[in-house]
């Protein structure tokens, strides 16, 4: 208090309002320590799976960048309180120095009366370091409601705080904030947000069912359970099937689903909506199988089935188990990294299902029959390929039964350099893809030739060159014929009255020889079609006007064609 008994000095202002006194700060710190202890005891596995809050990168100034996805929360007060504890637990080690927050407001529509008071209580419960060290707040896809709410927040937040807010309309604008490449940045956002932005800007969203695994991983790959770049839809389906009640469902993957709940699950996946806790788990199980079987290429690539075909031929009628085990191990080593990570993640679920076989009656043998097509599938189902299905089922059973040792062997080999390097595996995968594309194109050509009655024959370099030269000469002869026809029709334009031969400085005999030669030429069908398409009837009274344009009268009364006028303007005549 001042000695003259006047009013106390004004409290210092911070960007978030008046600076609290020491007693208030101590009370807030003590309350925060209690919150932190409570948060450490809480299980936040659901928030981890939903990627509610996480540190994603460091910006150019060395500040940690934290991303908060608001759309995964509901306005339920209890869930918001748990989310607040989760924020405390996650950010406690981050906010001791300057940091940046990216808040994604997509699909958030909170108009609950209690929300405003909840945000205010959170603000007053956090120690000063949260406010002081926050250097920038980027808000993605902010709605009018959110901006209005921020205006109301001025009642307890200093106006200086709003200088730290920057609104972001496109996800790509965050590249300079996070320091991440656009492709890697895209994977940080759930599919629902990516789909929302695509529709917002008139772009066709990515389809999930029937899209290649590598495309899904590029756009929606997430790191989970020690597996890298697993497509988000697969993660969501696996999480929906991983609770104990679902795992114990009798005949889980043999059940059939009614169309309505199945369509509901598929629609929610395609729209990026979070899968609800459904009573009809069979709909999720059917959608899970449908998603895997709709991949254009099986999880272990088409090379896996080709390997099994070779083993069947070499060891007919029965392929020994140790041979299958070695082949499966090598297939895992040869699989692209994205495929290997996804396979490892899926095997975790199937292992948990098999462990509950006493309840769900899904033994390893039955699981192998259900999921073998998703891992081992031929490019074309021929009668010969159908004979290998039993071998594929046995290989799948080996993979399920020995997954722990197989995966461990592959990962040890990768780390020690005995397995394939990532780049080499990708190169071989691309090479196989190109080879399959060439084979597909060749098959398509053979089919077209067969339908057209063309007899396939061995083609030599000489025949190819000869055919090429003949085709070129045919085009040249076609051009000569058209040129002669065109020139003959221009005879009326030759002011000297000379014949075409005389005008071309040729004898009449030479001109007749050329015309007879061209009349005998028989062009290939493709050339004939082009000649017919481009040929124009020129023998009519309007040929002069069509060639040289209309006649115009100049200022001096002279009448000239448009072509002559254009040529004279450019100094050509």
Task: Output the domain CATH number for residue 395.
Answer: 1.10.555.10
DSSP 275: P
Q: Would 180 be classed as within a structural domain?
A: yes
Q: How many other C-beta atoms are found inside a 10 Å radius of the C-beta of residue 420?
A: 20
Q: For residue 52, give the CATH number of its domain.
A: 3.40.525.10
- Between strands 551-553 and 227-231, the pairing is unpaired
C-alpha–C-alpha distance, residues 208 and 231, integer Å: 10
Same domain, 65 and 20: yes
Number of domains in the chain: 4
C-alpha–C-alpha distance, residues 302 and 325, integer Å: 18
Same domain, 366 and 283: yes
Q: Would 301 be classed as within a structural domain?
A: yes
Q: Would 451 be classed as within a structural domain?
A: no
C-alpha–C-alpha distance, residues 229 and 341, integer Å: 7
CB 432 within 8 A of CB 304: no
**Where among 392, 419, 446 does a domain terminate?**
419
Same domain, 408 and 479: no
What does the buried/exposed string (b/e) look like for 356-376 if buried means 16 or more CB atoms within 10 Å of the residue's CB? beeebebebebbbbbbbbbbb
Look at residue 15 in the predicted model and tell me its pLDDT: 44
Same domain, 504 and 561: no
Same domain, 359 and 470: no
For the chain, the first-to-last Cα distance in angstroms comes to 103
- Give the sign of the dihedral formed by CA 22, CA 26, CA 31, CA 36: positive
Look at residue 57 in the predicted model and tell me its pLDDT: 81
Range of the domain at 554: 544-573
Q: How far is CA 77 from CA 113, 119, 292, 508, in A?
A: 11, 11, 37, 102
Same domain, 481 and 567: no
Q: Would 67 be classed as within a structural domain?
A: yes
Q: How many other C-beta atoms are found inside a 10 Å radius of the C-beta of residue 132?
A: 13
Same domain, 73 and 118: yes
> What's phi and psi for 53, nearest 5 deg?
-145, 130
Q: Would 289 be classed as within a structural domain?
A: yes
Tens-binned pLDDT, residue by residue, of the chain (573 aa): 333 444 433 444 444 445 456 677 788 888 888 888 898 888 888 888 778 888 888 887 888 989 888 887 777 778 888 888 998 899 988 989 999 999 888 887 666 555 666 666 677 788 888 888 898 889 988 887 777 777 766 666 666 777 888 888 888 888 877 777 777 788 888 888 888 888 888 888 888 899 999 999 988 998 888 888 899 999 989 988 988 888 999 999 998 888 888 888 888 888 776 655 556 788 899 999 999 999 999 999 999 999 999 999 998 788 999 999 999 999 999 999 999 999 999 999 999 999 999 999 999 999 999 999 999 999 888 888 888 999 999 999 999 999 999 999 888 887 766 444 555 555 555 565 555 555 555 555 554 454 444 444 444 445 555 555 565 566 566 666 656 665 555 554 444 555 555 656 667 777 777 777 767 766 666 556 555 554 444 333 443 454 555 676 666 667 777 666 655 655 555
CB 205 within 8 A of CB 199: yes
Same domain, 413 and 532: no
Q: Would 328 be classed as within a structural domain?
A: yes
Q: Would 415 be classed as within a structural domain?
A: yes
Q: Would 102 be classed as within a structural domain?
A: yes
Same domain, 193 and 223: no
C-alpha–C-alpha distance, residues 283 and 262, integer Å: 5
Look at residue 542 in the predicted model and tell me its pLDDT: 42
Tokens 């080690």, residue? 93
Same domain, 535 and 559: no
- Integer-rounded Cα radius of gyration of the chain: 37
Same domain, 157 and 269: no
**Where among 359, 390, 419 does a domain terminate?**
419
**Where among 419, 436, 453 does a domain terminate?**
419
Look at residue 11 in the predicted model and tell me its pLDDT: 42
Same domain, 60 and 99: yes
């Amino acid at each position: 208090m001042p000695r003259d008994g006047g009013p106390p000095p004004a409290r210092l202002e911070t960007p978030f309002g008046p600076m609290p006194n020491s007693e208030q700060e101590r009370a807030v710190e003590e309350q925060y320590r209690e919150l932190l202890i409570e948060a450490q005891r809480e299980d936040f596995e659901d928030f981890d799976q939903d990627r509610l809050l996480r540190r994603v990168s460091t910006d150019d100034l060395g500040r940690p960048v934290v991303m908060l996805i608001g759309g995964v929360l509901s306005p339920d007060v209890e869930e918001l309180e748990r989310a607040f504890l989760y924020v405390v637990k996650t950010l406690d080690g981050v906010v001791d120095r300057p940091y940046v927050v990216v808040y994604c407001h997509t699909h958030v529509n909170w108009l609950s009366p209690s929300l405003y008071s909840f945000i205010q209580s959170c603000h007053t419960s956090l120690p000063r370091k949260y406010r002081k060290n926050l250097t920038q707040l980027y808000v993605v896809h902010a709605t009018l409601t959110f901006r209005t709410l921020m205006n109301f927040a001025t009642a307890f937040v200093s106006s200086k705080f709003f200088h730290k807010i920057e609104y972001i309309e496109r996800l790509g604008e965050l590249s300079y904030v996070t320091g991440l490449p656009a492709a890697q940045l895209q994977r940080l956002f759930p599919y629902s947000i990516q789909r929302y932005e695509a529709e917002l800007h008139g772009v066709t969203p990515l389809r999930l069912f029937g899209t290649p695994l590598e495309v899904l991983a590029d756009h929606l790959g997430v790191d989970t359970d020690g597996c890298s770049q697993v497509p988000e839809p697969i993660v969501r389906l696996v999480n929906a099937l991983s609770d104990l009640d679902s795992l114990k469902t009798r005949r889980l993957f043999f059940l059939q689903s009614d169309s309505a709940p199945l369509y509901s699950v598929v629609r929610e996946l395609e729209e990026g909506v979070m899968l609800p806790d459904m009573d009809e788990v069979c709909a999720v199980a059917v959608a899970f199988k449908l998603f895997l079987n709709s991949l254009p290429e099986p999880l272990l690539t088409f090379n896996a089935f080709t390997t099994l075909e070779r083993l069947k031929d070499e060891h007919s009628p029965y392929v020994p188990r140790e041979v299958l085990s070695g082949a499966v191990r090598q297939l895992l080593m040869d699989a692209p990294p994205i495929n290997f990570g996804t396979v490892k993640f899926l095997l975790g679920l199937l292992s948990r299902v098999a462990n509950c076989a006493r309840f769900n009656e899904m033994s390893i043998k039955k699981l192998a029959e259900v999921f073998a097509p998703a891992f081992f599938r031929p490019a074309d189902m021929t009668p010969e390929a159908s004979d290998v299905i039993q071998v594929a089922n046995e290989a799948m059973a080996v993979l399920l039964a020995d997954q722990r040792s197989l995966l461990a062997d592959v990962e040890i080999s990768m780390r020690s350099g005995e397995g394939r390097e990532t780049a080499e595996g990708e190169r071989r995968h691309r090479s196989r893809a190109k080879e399959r594309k060439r084979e597909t194109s060749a098959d398509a050509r053979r089919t077209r030739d067969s339908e057209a009655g063309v007899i396939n024959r061995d083609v030599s370099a000489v025949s190819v060159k000869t055919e090429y030269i003949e085709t070129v000469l045919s085009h040249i002869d076609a051009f000569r014929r058209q040129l002669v026809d065109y020139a003959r029709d221009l005879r009326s334009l030759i002011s000297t009255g000379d014949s075409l031969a005389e005008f071309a400085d040729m004898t009449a005999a030479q001109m007749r020889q050329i015309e007879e030669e061209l009349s005998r030429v028989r062009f290939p069908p493709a050339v004939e079609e082009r000649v017919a398409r481009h040929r124009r009837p020129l023998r009519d009274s309007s040929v002069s006007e069509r060639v040289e344009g209309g006649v115009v009268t100049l200022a001096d009364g002279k009448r000239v064609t448009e072509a002559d006028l254009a040529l004279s303007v450019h100094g050509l005549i």
